[in-house]
Amino acid sequence: MSPPPISVSSTPISIERVTESRLPQVDLANVAFGRVYSDHMLSARCCDGVWEDPRIVPFGDLALHPATAVLHYAQAIFEGMKAHLTDDGVPVLFRPEENWRRMNRSARRMVMAEIPEEIFLGGIRELVRLDRDWIPPNRFGSLYIRPFLFAADPYIGVSPSREYRFHIMTAPVGAYYEGSVSLYVTRKWIRAAEGGIGEAKAAGNYSASYYGMKEAREHGCDNVLWLDSKQHRFIEECGTMNMMFVIGDRVVTPPLGGTILPGVTRDSAIRLLRDQMGTGVDERPVSIEEVAEASADGSLRECFGVGTAAVVTPVARLTGGGVEVRLPEDTPVQDELRERLTSIRLGRSPDPYGWVDRLL
């Protein structure tokens, strides 16, 4: 017998539960990233601007017509966030409404249907509650949440779709590799250009970066440090992380200007650095030459990336494009920032900004 449909605000999300959970076959202490998904997923569709049929169903394959527009022209966007368990076992989300807002900014940029709050946030909360046993204990990791929206018309004409499908899936993931990364500086390949889709979390941004990533790996680096598309000098971001540098006693980070993905972690980090750590933060263009010079004169103290996946990731080395920079091993600013972000997120320290969403 299935439980009655729940009604989230005006849009009811119906729930069809699995008959048997797959959880007993999963070792939450040892999951490979992105290979294992939890029991349920959300599905909804929007036709000609009208959302219909949001439902939570057993996780499973999607059936798609070969002409489905997204498969040809990549009109697709996504989000990425995590649910954690607090020490007393309550599932928590971190600033999920920021992901909802960003998803809809991406949707507008890609001429796609915007997603109602009840379906995006209501759906995430319901899914996480339903699959809460899939959230690994903190020492092992968290539950990664992946909402995504794609153009679903079975039509290969070059135009925005009339139908969009939205799904949310969740996956237990291990604690991210806690080590430093080395980044490859390229003056040739770019991630995004002014007027393009760099500030949207659009699928095409990632496939466009694979070639540079391949070259980075061939040079023994973990990822690319992207530079601006015109002068190939100013630092943009890296992989799925925004970049921060400690130069002298200030933190410097590239400004949001259309080509950079506005990270929720970036925004949170800037606030904590300023309000709680008393560290000045400059959002201003920073060139790779400035970083190399600061390294040479000893004022470059730290370099790190910030993003949902790894929270705060230390950078050990920048190489390529005529630059060779090694970062000091002592990293007090990022260590304190990571600790503060993590403890707010897990409900271990006060949450003055109301960032934590407890799913009681």
Ligand X SMILES: *Cc1c(COP(=O)(O)O)cnc(C)c1O
Q: Is 147 in the site for ligand X (CB under 6 A)?
A: no
> Residue 334 half-sphere exposure, CB side, CA atoms within 13 Å?
30
Q: What is the DSSP letter of 135?
A: S
Taking the C-alpha atoms of residue 8 and residue 14, their distance in angstroms, rounded to an integer, is 10
Q: How many residues bind ligand X (CB under 6 A)?
A: 13
Q: Is 174 in the site for ligand X (CB under 6 A)?
A: no
Least distance in angstroms from the C-beta of 227 to ligand X:
14
Here the tokens at position 233 are 């000098």
Least distance in angstroms from the C-beta of 352 to ligand X:
20
Q: Which of 147, 172, 212, 263 binds ligand X (CB under 6 A)?
A: 263
Q: Which residue lies nearer to ligand X by CB, 40 or 338?
A: 338
- Which span sits near ligand X by CB under 6 A: 24-32, 60-68, 109-117, 258-266? 258-266
Least distance in angstroms from the C-beta of 33 to ligand X:
15
Q: Is 240 in the site for ligand X (CB under 6 A)?
A: yes
Q: Is 261 in the site for ligand X (CB under 6 A)?
A: yes
Around Cβ 194, how many Cβ atoms within 10 Å? Answer: 11
Q: Is 265 in the site for ligand X (CB under 6 A)?
A: yes
Q: Which residue lies nearer to ligand X by CB, 182 or 308?
A: 308
Q: Which element (helix H / strand E) includes 206?
A: helix 203-207
Helices (H) and strands (E) in the chain, counts: 8, 19
Taking the C-alpha atoms of residue 158 and residue 69, their distance in angstroms, rounded to an integer, is 8
Q: Which of 242, 319, 331, 334 binds ligand X (CB under 6 A)?
A: 242
Q: Which of 28, 247, 264, 325 binds ligand X (CB under 6 A)?
A: 264
- Which span sits near ligand X by CB under 6 A: 138-146, 168-176, 233-241, 323-331? 233-241
Taking the C-alpha atoms of residue 337 and residue 273, their distance in angstroms, rounded to an integer, is 7
Q: Which of 237, 243, 252, 270 binds ligand X (CB under 6 A)?
A: 237
Determine contact, residues 43/105, Cβ cutoff 8 Å: no
Looking at 208-285, list the stretches that DSSP marks H as alpha helix, in order from N- to C-terminal side.
210-218, 264-271
Taking the C-alpha atoms of residue 343 and residue 349, their distance in angstroms, rounded to an integer, is 6
Q: Is 308 in the site for ligand X (CB under 6 A)?
A: yes
Helix (H, G, I), strand (E, B) or coil at 130: helix
Least distance in angstroms from the C-beta of 27 to ligand X:
26
Rg of the chain's alpha carbons, rounded to an integer? Answer: 21
Q: Is 307 in the site for ligand X (CB under 6 A)?
A: yes
Determine contact, residues 306/269, Cβ cutoff 8 Å: yes
**Touching ligand X, residues 82-141 (CB under 6 A):** none
Q: Which residue lies nearer to ligand X by CB, 54 or 239?
A: 239
In the block, which residue shows the tokens 């500086």?
Answer: 185
Q: Name the residues that contact ligand X, by CB under 6 A.
A: 80, 201, 237, 240-242, 261, 263-266, 307-308
